[in-house]
Amino acid sequence: MSELNLILLGPPGAGKGTQAAHLVDDFGLPYIATGDILRAAVKDGTALGKKAKEYMDAGDLVPDDVIVGVVAERLEQGDTRDGFVLDGFPRTIPQAEALDRSLEAMGRRLTAVLLIEVPDDVLVQRISGRRICTDGHVYHVDFNPPEQDDVCDVDGNALEQRPDDAPEKVKRRLEVYHEQTAPLEDYYDDLGVLQRFDGTRSPDEVREHISATLSTLRLEESA
């Protein structure tokens, strides 16, 4: 099997985490989400968490040098041999350049950058209704509700709202996306690996579109 080295790109609330869960199920790839790594570090009170907390609380990005090494180290682990799903990284041009260097040093390259596009007004509505369980399963009170209110279908954990999903923090996170992360769309388009998806469609439709695109890419690769 050829490698599937994937990045999920898109603004907060676009559905990256939702689609990542499908990619993990459909392709058995390890999932590397920098937001989850940082939230776990904050919760555990590690040195990384202490450095990251104030930035995350404000809706800002943590400095590049705090996160770049964490991802490089994670990509070197054996379970990424057949590919990976990166969610939330890179988020700046220097992070993308650092990732290029890491992959080059490993003799690997990106298969695709999956950009999920959603307008800001829809994002605000999605984020305000998002509920997550402590193991990271994601729901929405209207668009993807759990069977029982505030209880995770998968493991029965209580569902809660992320602290950075408060309205004023969401506004800042969207500004940060447009200023610092959106330039990556041109960066990866220029490299010929960007694939765009209409994230306003239902989660199942987005999943099918991504799946079809990846199948086509694999066919092209093996031709």
Site residues, ligand AP5 (CB under 6 A): 10, 12-18, 34-35, 38, 55-56, 59-62, 67, 88-89, 91, 95, 126, 129-130, 138-140, 143-144, 164, 173, 199, 202-203, 206
CB of 75 to ligand AP5, least distance (A): 13
Which residues does residue 84 pair with via DSSP β-bridges, in sequence order?
A: 5
- If the CB atoms of residues 208 and 221 are measured against ligand AP5, the closer one turns out to be 208
CB of 88 to ligand AP5, least distance (A): 3
Phi, psi torsion values for 102, nearest 5 degrees: -60, -45
- If the CB atoms of residues 46 and 82 are measured against ligand AP5, the closer one turns out to be 46
Three-state SS letters, the chain? CCCEEEEEECCCCCCHHHHHHHHHHHHCCCEEEHHHHHHHHHHHCCHHHHHHHHHHHHCCCCCHHHHHHHHHHHHCCHHHCCEEEEECCCCCHHHHHHHHHHHHHCCCCCCEEEEEECCHHHHHHHHHCEEEECCCCEEECCCECCCCCCECCCCCCEEECCHHHCHHHHHHHHHHHHHHHCHHHHHHHHCCCEEEEECCCCHHHHHHHHHHHHHHHHHHHHC
CB of 97 to ligand AP5, least distance (A): 13
CB of 108 to ligand AP5, least distance (A): 19
CB of 197 to ligand AP5, least distance (A): 9
- If the CB atoms of residues 28 and 69 are measured against ligand AP5, the closer one turns out to be 69
- If the CB atoms of residues 82 and 117 are measured against ligand AP5, the closer one turns out to be 117
* Residue whose pair of structure tokens reads 């596009």 in the numeric block: 117
* Residue whose pair of structure tokens reads 């939702």 in the numeric block: 18
- If the CB atoms of residues 4 and 118 are measured against ligand AP5, the closer one turns out to be 118
Return the active site residues. Answer: 16, 91, 130, 162, 173
